[in-house]
A and B are shown apart, each in its own frame.
Chain A
């Protein structure tokens, strides 16, 4: 009897499981849309209430009043704030953030140019952080309170507390100026800068696609130092979180059971404990990736990296509000997308969230 009841109820759960997946993807998208709308709204109003007159930023301080008034009318700044907002919203949803005052190009074109540079750097950093951070975190948890654990803790602490611009400058000083192992500032050497036509904007990928190994080597030598630097910070965070998730998993009863089965420690740690720890780790990794995307302003400044961080910084300094708003919204959208992705991965990794 009990068995039949079990079977029926499980089957029922399975069926609703399939439709609940579709349902939850739908609700994901709705939440994402609402979040995105909120993002545009908040960004727009913050951009409008800060004491920067966008018209003056365009025409300059000393323009005659008639020019200012004409510009105000031309850009729609004479409309009520609500109308301005609706106008901005409809255009932004089509990917039109207006033109940048600084570059005179559409903001979207500028972003298309600078975003891949940041994406590439953050991706390299995250890959380095993952490859080092997870094994270190696992090791620190398994050998808790040992020398290795202490070393990992100190590495993490340094990663948290040393300012990145200082480490960046020191890195440049040692590895570029003194040792000459890597290239200096910028993404690509002058020798290749004008002959190389990017496809995706991710130079490493483009070089591989074109089979141009000289460019690849040059780009690699440019990206490795800032990438390693971001990777170090990402590693500090990931290893710390991995350690604490692993400690939690290793104290669970199923680990005792796995050992009672006679499994090897390797299998117990990597096959069972880390597999379970991977579930919350996904969120941590996504967050760390997002942090590298938005927080690379300092790195990009030190390494003269033409990414979205330095683009935003420059725009802000010049009161180029279209560029600032556009850049903020794009980064925010990336954040939302990463969150969605990690939520979906979470469901893939944890069967308990599927029912």
Chain B
């Protein structure tokens, strides 16, 4: 299988007044048209990995990679303009919380239309027709109404569907979903995941699913990468999660409550070893 995305030795460093913070320290993986989960706790570098692939790292950060290759395009060596043309068109990203990631003063419809118009020369009525169709395909039942609403007027689940519509309208080949359901109610999470699942399958996209929820990622993805302190500590098939070797992954799995298991009180907690972060 030819890789859609190849990442080799990706590093992201922030130079601050108090010293250099290495957020990502040499991450390497390959991705085909599959679902890859990246799991890790806050500060493990999982989000920065995603943003570095998007080319959306803050300007004061330093990104280096031996290889960062998307569908034959060397991302380390293309112009900002070319990179921008890829964004939203061939690589897209879904952010965590629709409350903050949608522009509060622009209607949902206009934000989706804007997304189309960034990449295609297309008439206004044609664009809004496609935006409405896209809203329908993320299972919004009354697209014409939602089209004219402002982000604060819809629920979190609805907002995240609009976000998915906005990011998938240009039919990207790679989607990076950065904690797409963490800000949502548990009941809505499953709805949104199902929609995401369906669209990713239908359109044959590659997906990087970033989350802190190991259980969720293992049920949703084909492969899982576990990150700790800016490094990949373990890579394994989602179905083989139980055979995880690294003590961090084992620790994570261990502290989950189990139904029907023997009474485990208190639940074990993670005992972080300093050598993991080396």
Within 8 Å by CB of B104, from A13, A261, A352, lies: A352
Tally of B interface residues using CB under 8 Å? 44
Contact A263 B103 (CB under 8 A): no
Inter-chain contacts of A276 with B (CB < 8 A): 103-105
For A278, the closest partner residue in chain B by CB is B105
Contact A257 B101 (CB under 8 A): yes
Contact B56 A3 (CB under 8 A): no
Question: What is the CB-to-nearest-CB distance from B53 to chain A, in angstroms, rounded to a whole number?
Answer: 11
Within 8 Å by CB of A260, from B56, B153, B187, B188, lies: B56
Contact B167 A260 (CB under 8 A): yes
Tell me the residues in window 178-218 of chain B with beta carbons closer than 8 Å to chain A beta carbons: 187-188, 191
Q: Is A113 engaged at the interface, CB distance under 8 Å to the other chain?
A: no
Tell me the residues in window 241-289 of chain A with beta carbons closer than 8 Å to chain B beta carbons: 252-254, 256-264, 267, 271-272, 275-276, 279
Q: Is B88 engaged at the interface, CB distance under 8 Å to the other chain?
A: yes
Contact A7 B56 (CB under 8 A): no
Q: Is A182 engaged at the interface, CB distance under 8 Å to the other chain?
A: no
Contact A272 B56 (CB under 8 A): no
Inter-chain contacts of A10 with B (CB < 8 A): 145, 149, 153-154
The stretch of B91-99, B236-244, B259-267 in contact with A is: B91-99
Q: Is B166 engaged at the interface, CB distance under 8 Å to the other chain?
A: yes
Inter-chain contacts of B89 with A (CB < 8 A): 262
Tally of A interface residues using CB under 8 Å? 29
Question: What is the CB-to-nearest-CB distance from A301 to chain B, in angstroms, rounded to a whole number?
Answer: 43
Q: Is B41 engaged at the interface, CB distance under 8 Å to the other chain?
A: no
- Which residue among A257, A271, A279, A350 has the maximum number of chain B CB atoms within 10 Å of its CB? A257
Q: Is B163 engaged at the interface, CB distance under 8 Å to the other chain?
A: yes
Contact A260 B54 (CB under 8 A): yes
Inter-chain contacts of A349 with B (CB < 8 A): 105
A256 touching B95 in the complex, CB below 8 Å, given contacts A10-B149, A279-B105, A352-B104: yes
Q: Is B233 engaged at the interface, CB distance under 8 Å to the other chain?
A: no
Inter-chain contacts of A257 with B (CB < 8 A): 93, 95, 101-103, 163, 166
Question: What is the CB-to-nearest-CB distance from B184 to chain A, in angstroms, rounded to a whole number?
Answer: 11
Question: What is the CB-to-nearest-CB distance from B195 to chain A, in angstroms, rounded to a whole number?
Answer: 13
Inter-chain contacts of B95 with A (CB < 8 A): 253, 256-257, 260
Inter-chain contacts of B30 with A (CB < 8 A): none
Contact A263 B118 (CB under 8 A): yes
26 contacts between A and B (CB under 8 A): A2-B157, A2-B187, A2-B191, A3-B140, A3-B142, A6-B154, A7-B142, A10-B153, A254-B102, A256-B95, A258-B103, A259-B87, A260-B88, A260-B92, A261-B118, A261-B166, A262-B87, A262-B88, A263-B118, A264-B118, A276-B103, A276-B105, A349-B105, A351-B152, A351-B153, A355-B153
Inter-chain contacts of B158 with A (CB < 8 A): 6
Q: Is B14 engaged at the interface, CB distance under 8 Å to the other chain?
A: no
Within 8 Å by CB of A350, from B85, B105, B141, lies: B105
A260 touching B87 in the complex, CB below 8 Å, given contacts A254-B101, A351-B150, A355-B152: yes
Inter-chain contacts of A272 with B (CB < 8 A): 103, 106
Tell me the residues in window 140-183 of chain B with beta carbons closer than 8 Å to chain A beta carbons: 140-142, 145, 149-150, 152-155, 157-158, 163, 166-167, 170
Contact A6 B155 (CB under 8 A): yes
A263 touching B114 in the complex, CB below 8 Å, given contacts A10-B149, A256-B101, A351-B152: yes
Tell me the residues in window 113-134 of chain B with beta carbons closer than 8 Å to chain A beta carbons: 114-115, 118-119
Contact B100 A261 (CB under 8 A): no
Q: Report the bound CA distance from A2 to B105 in whole Å.
A: 25
Q: Name 12 extra pairs, CB < 8 A, besides A6-B155, A260-B93, A261-B115.
A: A2-B157, A2-B191, A253-B95, A254-B100, A257-B95, A257-B103, A261-B166, A262-B115, A264-B118, A276-B104, A352-B104, A355-B152
Q: Report the bound CA distance from A271 to B153 in whole Å.
A: 21
Contact A2 B150 (CB under 8 A): no
Tell me the residues in window 9-35 of chain A with beta carbons closer than 8 Å to chain B beta carbons: 10, 13
Question: What is the CB-to-nearest-CB distance from A42 to chain B, in angstroms, rounded to a whole number?
Answer: 38
Contact B97 A253 (CB under 8 A): yes
A351 touching B92 in the complex, CB below 8 Å, given contacts A6-B155, A260-B87: no
Inter-chain contacts of B103 with A (CB < 8 A): 254, 257-258, 272, 275-276
A352 touching B88 in the complex, CB below 8 Å, given contacts A254-B101, A256-B101, A262-B118: no
Q: Is B33 engaged at the interface, CB distance under 8 Å to the other chain?
A: no
Contact B87 A261 (CB under 8 A): yes
Give per-residue flags for A23-53: 1 if the beta carbon is below 8 A from chain B beta carbons, else 0.
0000000000000000000000000000000
Ranked 6 nearest A-B pairs via Cβ: A262-B88, A261-B88, A253-B100, A262-B87, A351-B150, A260-B93
A351 touching B88 in the complex, CB below 8 Å, given contacts A2-B157, A10-B149: no
- Which residue among B103, B114, B157, B188 has the maximum number of chain A CB atoms within 10 Å of its CB? B103
- Which residue among B56, B154, B188 has the maximum number of chain A CB atoms within 10 Å of its CB? B56
Inter-chain contacts of B115 with A (CB < 8 A): 261-262
Question: What is the CB-to-nearest-CB distance from B116 to chain A, in angstroms, rounded to a whole number?
Answer: 9
Inter-chain contacts of B93 with A (CB < 8 A): 257, 260
Contact B149 A259 (CB under 8 A): no
Contact A261 B152 (CB under 8 A): no
Question: What is the CB-to-nearest-CB distance from B109 to chain A, in angstroms, rounded to a whole number?
Answer: 13
Q: Is B3 engaged at the interface, CB distance under 8 Å to the other chain?
A: no
Inter-chain contacts of A351 with B (CB < 8 A): 104-105, 150, 152-153
Give per-residue flags for A65-83: 1 if the beta carbon is below 8 A from chain B beta carbons, else 0.
0000000000000000000
For B55, the closest partner residue in chain A by CB is A259
Question: What is the CB-to-nearest-CB distance from A250 to chain B, in angstroms, rounded to a whole number?
Answer: 10
Within 8 Å by CB of A254, from B87, B104, B157, lies: B104
Inter-chain contacts of A6 with B (CB < 8 A): 154-155, 158
